[in-house]
Amino acid sequence: MSISSAIDVRDAIARGERTATDVCESSLARIDAVDAAGPALHAFQTVMADRARARAAALDRLPAPAGPLHGVPIALKDNIVVRGVVATAGSRMLETFVSPYDATVVERLEAAGAVIIGKTTCDEFAMGSSTENSAFGPAKNPVDPTRTPGGSSGGSAVAVAAGMTPVSLGSDTGGSIRQPAALCGITGLKPTYGRVSRYGLIAFASSLDQIGPLATTARDAALVLETIAGHDPRDATSARLPVPSFTGALTGSVAGMRIGVPSRLLEQGVDPEVRQAFDATAAMLGAYGATIVDIELPHSRHAIPVYYLLATAEASANLARYDGVRYGRRAPGAGSLAQMYEATRGRGFGAEVKRRVMLGTYVLSAGYYDAYYLKAQQVRTLIRRDFDAAFAAVDTILMPTSPVPAFRFGERLANPLQMYLADVFTVSANLAGIPAVSVPCGATRAGLPIGAQFLGKPWDEASILRCADACERLTSRA
């Protein structure tokens, strides 16, 4: 039996109809049924069964609910650390690394009564759009296991879409929550940069990374965001801002909202069925009271090259710590320090990580810094200004999440540029630091899910969640 929404689970426990232990066992049974056996979806890298059972039993002994997520099973992308549990980040480099501490989001989830059920498959160090870059094998799309679930938070999306957990956490550096959410037919939210603490997130690109929820509904995503958001003194980039009631913003209506659509940006490269579903969604929102406004985002066409210069430069700096000395893998038998570095990184990193580290090191090198890295930062500023100008006229912006539905395994591996273009509509939100949420908006004739995303003003997750929730409700009426 698949697991229902987080709010349904919590409320059933509160009414005495279920226990946290019962829900935990249902989640574990579902994982056993679909993740390792049968279609072997491989959503999970590590299932924390004993820890989860002990946690659920402890919750059942409490005289009152522990919080708004009491008894809800939650999966974590395997780049978010849990004390005493292996955190691989999808890499051989960290295959045996056991975290000595909990991430801030883990502390906050457990304080709210959640049960952490396991760690999910991801592209190595979150670098990828298909989970094919995981050193331990890819996760598979539950709609069609011959196709990718997207990435890099593919396992987190599969866990929710296949009913193993009602919600999960992923990280989004250039679309890694929203793109797999779209390809698997669920909701995925990237909060404003700084809304959620990154303490305990294994870094890829520090000015872009953000933790967020994947869920069956926008209401569940809003509830989880309320739980994990807020300032953390251990993360200097987390904002000192109050956390509003995101669930309270879900009115079910878009009446009176102004929603911008960057029509010129969508003229090329969008699959016809994706475009048809997107246009139908925009028309539906207009029919139910929103005003659809054509907007311009002139510099967003440069977002992919800007992203792959800045993200790789930051990755080069962040991954320099994996040297075989302090923690993680160390290649044996090296005769010198330089040989040990070379062997450790050569065997510990996969091909895509090596590619990005080399590119990042190049753009930061003497003679190329101004031509590439500095220029990319300048264009990043222009992209942010485009959004500022657009949001002076509209409340949210609507775009497709992915230009294509889920693609087959191996289809894009030989051409990294084609793989990178899967993120063409998602990376600009990370570059600008703004929130964005992907919501299901239809399916292809073959039944593959299609997603649309709402982008919002900084710190205005409430408006995009309102739109996502309304989109879900209006679609269910159709």
State pLDDT tens for residues 219-272: 999 999 999 999 999 999 999 999 999 999 999 999 999 999 999 999 999 999
State pLDDT tens for residues 34-57: 998 767 999 999 999 999 999 999
Tell whether the model's pLDDT for residue 69 goes beyond 70.
yes
Between 419 and 57, whose confidence is greater?
57
Question: Could you tell me which residues come within 8 angstroms of residue 266 by beta carbon, excluding any fewer than 6 positions away?
Answer: 275, 278, 399, 400
Q: Are 153 and 421 in contact (CB under 8 A)?
A: no
For 248, phi and psi rounded to 5 degrees?
Answer: -65, -20
pLDDT of residue 478: 57
State pLDDT tens for residues 293-322: 999 999 999 999 999 999 999 999 999 999
Tell whether the model's pLDDT for residue 3 goes beyond 90.
no
**What CATH architecture does domain 6-252+404-477 belong to?**
Alpha-Beta Complex (3.90)
Q: Which of 5, 27, 129, 152 is catalytic?
A: 152
CA distances (Å), origin 103, targets 134, 171, 241, 411: 22, 13, 20, 35
Tell whether the model's pLDDT for residue 168 goes beyond 60.
yes
- CA–CA distance, 468 with 221 (Å, rounded to integer): 10
**Helix, strand, coil share (%) of the chain residues, nearest 5:** 45, 15, 45
pLDDT of residue 421: 86
| Local confidence band at 326 (pLDDT 50, 70, 90 cut-offs) | confident
Q: Which of 171, 176, 316, 463 is catalytic?
A: 176
pLDDT of residue 293: 98
Q: Are 238 and 144 in contact (CB under 8 A)?
A: no
Q: Which of 77, 119, 140, 190 is catalytic?
A: 77
Name the amino acid, one letter, at 135: A
Instruction: Return the closest-CA partner of residue 228 out of 183, 174, 177.
Output: 177
The CA-based dihedral angle spanning residues 364, 370, 376, 377, taken in that order and rounded to the nearest 10 degrees: 90
Length of the chain, in residues: 478
438 is catalytic: no
Question: Could you tell me which residues come within 8 angstroms of residue 391 by beta carbon, excluding any fewer than 6 positions away?
Answer: 397, 457
Name the burial class of residue 250, with classes exposed (0-12), middle (13-18) and buried (19+) by CB atoms within 10 angstroms of its CB. Answer: buried
CA distances (Å), origin 19, targets 50, 71, 164: 17, 7, 17
147: three-class secondary structure by DSSP: strand
Q: How far is CA 227 from the centre of its chain?
A: 17
- Please give the DSSP secondary-structure letter assigned to residue 33: I
Q: Are 208 and 174 in contact (CB under 8 A)?
A: yes
140 is catalytic: no
Between vectors from CA 158 to CA 72 and to CA 474, what angle results, nearest 5°?
80
